[in-house]
Copies of this chain bind each other. A is one copy, B any other.
Amino acid sequence: MARALHHPEAEQLDLSAILDALSDPVRRGIVLRLAELGEGRCSAFLDMGSKTNLTYHLARLRESGLVHVRIEGTSRILSLRREELEARFPSLLPTILDSARREAAAAG
């Protein structure tokens, strides 16, 4: 396992990358759950895809700057980078998550 994980700086957050990350339903599902749980390890999302597939999506979320990943023993703990996102793109994440919940509620 890699020792140090790369995370983009707060000032480098890129709107295209963020929207692209959130345009995938699996990734949006992960972010949504993370918003509810506060944080969670990879295995908390196994119902959304295979381990390999999650590794892929989680890397994309991390590289886009949406989530922070901290290593703890053999686990990786994910959390949303809420404040940094809010500082750079106010209301963006909450609004998109609200839309996602709304769509889910509409039995889409």
Instruction: Report which A residues bind B (CB closer than 8 A).
Output: 14-16, 19-20, 22-25, 28, 88-92, 95-96, 98-100, 102-103, 108
Whether A16 contacts B24 by the Cβ 8 Å rule is yes
Contact A15/B89 with A23-B20, A23-B23, A95-B95 known, Cβ cut-off 8 Å: no
Q: Which residues of B contact A91 (CB under 8 A)?
A: 91, 95, 98
Q: Which of B14, B16, B88, B99 contacts A15 (CB 8 A)?
A: B99
Contact A16/B20 with A89-B102, A95-B95 known, Cβ cut-off 8 Å: no
Which 6 residue pairs of A and B lie closest in terms of their CB atoms, listed nearest first?
Answer: A19-B23, A20-B23, A89-B99, A95-B95, A91-B95, A92-B99
